[in-house]
Amino acid sequence: MHLNYHFLRFLCPRLQETMQGFVAVACFSQNKDELVIEWKKEEEKRFLRAHFLPPQIYYSFPENFQRAKRNSIDLFPELIGEKIKSCQVLSFERAFYFEMESGMILLLKLHGNRSNILFYEPNQEFPIRVFRNALLEDKSLNWRELEKSLDLSQEQFEALQGNASKFLPTLGKIPRAFLLKQAYPEASLKEKWNQMQEMIDMLESPLFTLVQEDEDVHLTLLPSENAIGQYSDPLEALNALFHKALVIGALEKEKKQLAKNYADQIKRTENFIQKAKAKLEELQNSPPPAQIADVIMANLHEFSDGVLSKNLFNFYTQDEIKITLKQNQKPQELAANLYRKSKNREIEWKQLEEAIDSKEKRLSELRHLAEQVELMEGFRDLKEFKKNHKSEIKDAKNQESLPFRQFNIFGLEVWVGKSSKDNDEMLRRFVHKNDIWLHARQAPGSHTIIRNPAGNKIANAVLERAASLAAYYSKLKNESLAPVIYTEAKYVRKIKGSAPGSVMVDREKTILVKPEGPNQEISGDIKD
């Protein structure tokens, strides 16, 4: 209700009593949505601080304010040197003004998200200065036309059938909600009149209450169960609201956002570790493909004369296994494939161990950071924390602006472009020449990147999972099997003038995979 007429009618007499005779010595802004005016009378100072960033519309009159040394601009030059003569509320309107001894008018129009400050020369209809220039209608606003007169008689109330909003349009959101809670709509006309008179009596009582509801703090003239402070001075109440809603509120908001970011990262990291350990255990407990390859190589003679299937004795496990060749496939070729898989299996095993170790260290760091955020008590703590973790916080803020989705597969980062233009942006600004580039073969889709700046060998499991993402984010999404091409990023180039997302590719290979989206990620740390 700090923007409401019923509060302003108490505030303005108090402001006149406090600020009459004060002279404007500075008027400036150090961010586009906040105007600060410094007033002085002998050794006394008072500031008007108007914060008009929707939906946080607040204003206050503190005795101290520290102007920034940089990024500050002077405004309303005609106001400097003007002395306050009076402060008046506009009848039944969410606006009030300071009248200067010269006749100039400084108007605070408190129309919610369209609040503004306007400055008028004596006897002029339209303002010469407007703080929020984007509100074009304010440039031709005649402040005298804002005042209203209302008929608050019982006859008028009955003529309007007890419609509270039409009878007293200045009520605002909080009083209307209060009437609703009192079952006003269901009451008889006589009961409604009695409730309205009780409401008006409360609105005319100078007791100002700050109320906390969820994350919001507001000021009311009505009784509330969630009161966090009560004041008899409207100016003191207004300044307390500004401090709690903006200063303390901003701290809590930033703390909550930081805590949420770390909680999300902790959850993703824990999920990654759990899945990676399960995959590692599976690898550790399953026999390496090289064992079967050894059995085949020891029994090459069994596949003579075109034999394609044979039961062989596995001297590692002491039981029989069935080996089946494809048409025209030699047993040596199958053994070579199994030896290669076994080698990739060792790479995957090592990558998983390294990834788990790295993530467990990161998990410990994240838990420590989350504890630090929880223990913050003021802006000094927050400022110090942000200074010490500047790059990390910046990365979190920039996450949404990146042109790609981020995944983590067995410890390796995998990126998937968000659109054709983003594909080009990712390729131009973010990709290293040794990264592995993947794309659905001969089908529209997202460019997919396996980050590999060091040029290490990529395990088949990582390649296949990244390929399944590339297929999923393409027109082949609903195929049972989809061909995906891949090559090193240095062999992918953009042709000048070509369509967004279109590239030339050399030395590509093809892999067949089942398209799988992020919800089926085996051990992915999904950041999208």
Judged by average pLDDT, the poorest of 288-297, 299-308, 400-409, 501-510 is 400-409
412-417 vs 448-450, strand pairing mode:
antiparallel
Give pLDDT, residue 215: 67
List, as one string, the DSSP characters of 164-175.
Answer: HHHH-TT--HHH
Overall average pLDDT of the 394-405 stretch? 66
| Contacts of the segment 360-364: beta carbons below 8 A, 24+ positions apart | 360/273, 362/269, 363/266, 363/269, 363/270, 363/273
Confidence at residue 173, expressed as pLDDT on a 0 to 100 scale: 86
DSSP label at residue 492: E
According to the model, what pLDDT value does residue 486 have?
97
Mean pLDDT of 54-74: 90
Lowest model confidence (mean pLDDT) among 25-34, 284-293, 361-370: 284-293
Among 178, 157, 163, residue whose Cα is nearest residue 6: 178
Share of residues in the chain with pLDDT > 70 (%): 95
Residues 77-134 pLDDT 10s: 999 999 999 999 999 999 999 999 999 999 999 999 999 999 999 999 999 999 999 9
CATH number among 1.25.40.10, 3.20.20.70, 2.30.310.10, 3.90.1280.10, domain 5-145: 2.30.310.10
Residue 527 has pLDDT above 70, yes or no: no
Task: Report pLDDT for 375.
Answer: 85
pLDDT in tens, 228-271: 889 999 999 999 998 888 766 677 777 888 888 889 889 988 98
Q: Assign 519 a pLDDT band (cuts: 50, 70, 90).
A: low
Q: Is 470:439 a contact under the CB 8 Å cutoff?
A: yes
Instruction: Report the pLDDT value the prediction gives residue 409, as an integer from 0 to 100.
Output: 84
Extract the tokens encoding 282. 């599976």
Which one, of 96, 78, 79, lies nearest residue 88 by Cα? Answer: 96
CATH topology for the 249-399 domain: Helix Hairpins (1.10.287)
Residue 242's contacts (CB-CB under 8 Å, 6 or more residues apart) are: 49, 51, 58, 59, 60, 62
- pLDDT (0 to 100) of residue 396: 53
Beta 95-100 vs 216-220: how paired, if at all?
unpaired
The per-residue pLDDT for 249 is 67
Q: Is the dihedral of CA 378, 381, 385, 386 positive or negative?
A: positive
- Would you list the domain boundaries of the chain? 5-145, 154-232, 249-399, 404-513
User: If you count them, how many residues does the chain have?
Assistant: 528
Residue-level pLDDT at 286: 81
- Mean pLDDT, all residues of the chain: 88
Band the pLDDT of 526: cuts 50, 70, 90: very low
Report which of residues 22 and 411 the model is more confident about: 22
Instruction: Quote the percentage of the chain above a pLDDT of 90.
Output: 54
CB 312 within 8 A of CB 302: yes
* Sheet strands side by side (includes 216-220): 216-220, 208-213, 227-231
Q: Which of 61-65, 214-218, 466-470 bottoms out in mean pLDDT, i.e. has the lowest?
A: 214-218
pLDDT at 524: 43
Can you give the pLDDT at residue 520?
42
Name the residue with higher pLDDT: 24 or 171.
24
Question: What confidence tens digit (pLDDT) does each residue in 322-336 have?
Answer: 999 988 889 989 989
Q: What is the pLDDT of residues 336-385, one digit of tens each?
A: 988 888 887 777 788 888 888 988 998 999 999 889 888 887 767 777 88
Report the range of poorest mean pLDDT among 178-182, 375-379, 522-526. 522-526
| 470 in Cβ contact with 483 (< 8 Å) | no
Residues 250, 35: Cα–Cα separation, whole Å: 18
